[in-house]
């Protein structure tokens, strides 16, 4: 990695070939290939690594993290705005917060094995920094910032469509969403009739039960959902019913 510091003419911060090859593997795994490799390396450079290599003047990922945070919020906001047209501003804000919060970002980073690529100082490495939640969340955001600078917002959205948005679709954040109320509002606005929920199946032992619920509109099935509780199953059924209703409305248009 060759980095120029403002006001300096020195070409500095060259990474060992072994580390570079690891980042080549990461790009293959992600099927994303950076035009500017230096910005990819920077996204994974922790301040502790910079402090231990002061003569080489590496740049840490903190500025990229700042940018990535904003890009992530914008991308998630646009997705939620379009995906849930009947959700209020308060509900959208609450859902977005649950997606971009530290615990969620850590999950995304771990699924991508980002932790093993972080460039850490020896002290940070010995104290378990590679698995520290705040560090992993920061790296995910800095990667988003680097990807945005290197390839633009459309590519960032494509990345999120693979890594983040599917989790929203399957209800990973449904604990902060009330799909039943949203579905009721949709039905009331179009004056389509009466909703009814029923549990159609229960599976598994008492300590690990799975419930299957369906929601009907005027006795016609709109959606089926599954969950560890009846409430969770009904919420997922309502979410799936909203998708069905939205599709039918688009066809009518």
Q: How far, rounded to the nearest angstrom, does the alpha carbon of residue 253 sit from its chain's CA centroid? A: 32
Backbone angles phi, psi at 203, to 5 degrees: -130, 155
Nearest to 176 by CA among 165, 168, 186: 168
In angstroms, the Cα distances linking 18 to 25, 134, 146 are: 11, 26, 21
Residue reference for tokens 């520290």: 132
Is 154 marked active-site?
no
Residue reference for tokens 């005027």: 218
Is 141 marked active-site?
yes
Structure tokens at 70: 């904003």
Residue 17 known to bind ligand: no
Residue 234 known to bind ligand: no
Residue reference for tokens 């003047």: 57
Selected catalytic residue, list 69, 150, 232, 234: 69
Residue 221 known to bind ligand: no
Selected catalytic residue, list 60, 124, 141, 232: 141
Tell me how far apart the alpha carbons of residues 82 and 239 are, in angstroms, rounded to a whole number: 15
Question: Catalytic amino acids?
Answer: 69, 141
- The annotation places the binding site for Mg(2+) at 65, 138, 141
Binding annotation: 65, 138, 141
């Amino acid at each position: 990695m060759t980095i120029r510091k403002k006001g300096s003419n020195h070409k500095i911060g060259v990474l060992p070939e072994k580390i570079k090859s690891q980042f080549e593997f990461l790009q293959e795994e992600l099927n994303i290939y950076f035009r500017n490799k230096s910005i990819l390396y920077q996204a994974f450079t922790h301040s502790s690594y910079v402090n231990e290599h002061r003569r080489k003047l590496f740049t840490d990922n903190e500025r990229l993290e700042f940018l990535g945070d904003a890009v992530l919020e914008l991308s998630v906001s646009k997705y939620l705005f379009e995906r849930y047209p009947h959700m209020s501003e308060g509900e959208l804000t609450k859902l977005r917060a649950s997606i971009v919060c530290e615990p969620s970002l850590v999950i995304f980073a771990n699924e991508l094995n980002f932790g093993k690529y972080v460039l850490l100082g020896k002290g940070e490495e010995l104290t378990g920094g590679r698995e520290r939640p705040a560090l992993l969340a920061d790296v995910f955001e800095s990667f988003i910032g680097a990807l945005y600078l290197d390839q633009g917002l459309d590519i960032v959205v494509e990345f999120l469509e693979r890594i983040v948005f599917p989790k929203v679709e399957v209800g990973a954040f449904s604990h902060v969403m009330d799909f039943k109320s949203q579905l009721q509002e949709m039905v009331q606005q179009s004056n389509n009739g009466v909703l009814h929920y029923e549990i159609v199946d229960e599976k598994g032992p008492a300590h690990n039960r799975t419930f299957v619920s369906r929601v009907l509109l005027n006795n016609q099935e709109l959606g089926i959902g599954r969950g560890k509780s009846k409430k969770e199953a009904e919420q997922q059924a309502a979410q799936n019913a909203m998708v069905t209703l939205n599709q039918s409305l688009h066809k009518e248009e």
